[in-house]
Structure 1
Amino acid sequence: MKDEHITIFSGSSIIVKGLQIRLEDNNIKYLIKDRVESARLGGFGEHRTAIELLVSNNDKEKAQPIVDAYKVEINS
């Protein structure tokens, strides 16, 4: 069975980095899709919040409470 990934969060690089640290602390693997850097390398622009953090479908239930708590933290 193929391990599929879903976007669980997107934002600026510094905000995504904070969530990366929390996921690493909980041994949750993730992928980063950096559309900003890809656009820069391609010679065109992209919105600076176009960095996506993806987790495996298998880790979604474990990661979602961490993401929800992080959203509350950054919005307070």
Structure 2
Amino acid sequence: MSDSNYIKIYTGNFAVVKRITIELNDMDINPVVKDQAESAILGGFGGTLAPDFQEVYVHKDELEKATKVVNDITSELEA
């Protein structure tokens, strides 16, 4: 997503990504989730070495709010 208005804010497993996207959606932020493994499978190239990892992108105008959500969730999970 180079030369884009979207910025990657998180890379992690499906469960955490799902929680982040739910909380972002609740705040009227529409994240984009990029799943390399799913894209490879749909393209007929098989999976990747880390099939459970996904990336979350948000529009640069929503970066501050979205980063706070990610930080809150990851801090909670580390505690």
When normalised by structure 1's length, the TM-score is 0.84
Residue 48 (structure 1) shift:
2.7
**Identical-residue share of aligned pairs (%):** 31
40-49 or 6-15, which deviates more: 40-49
List 4+ stretches of structure 1 deviating above 4 A: none
Q: CA RMSD in A?
A: 1.8
The reply to whether residue 25 of structure 1 matches residue 9 of structure 2 is no
TM-score by length of 2: 0.81
Contact 2:29 2:62 in 1 (8 A): yes
SS at match of 2:7: strand
Counterpart in the other structure of 1:13 = 14
- Rate the CA distance shift 1:21–1:44 in 2: closer, same or farther, 3 A: closer
Structure 2 residue runs of 5 or longer lacking an equivalent are none
CA drift of 1:44 comes to 3.9
Structure 2 counterpart of 1:35, which letter? Answer: Q
Aligned partner letter, 1:52:
E
Number of residue equivalences: 75
CA distance in 2, matches of 1:44, 1:64: 29
1:32-43 equivalence runs, <5 A: 32-41=33-42, 42-43=45-46
Unaligned runs of 5+ in 1: none
Q: Using a 3 Å threshold, how does the CA distance of structure 1 residues 22 and 44 change in structure 2: closer, same or farther?
A: closer
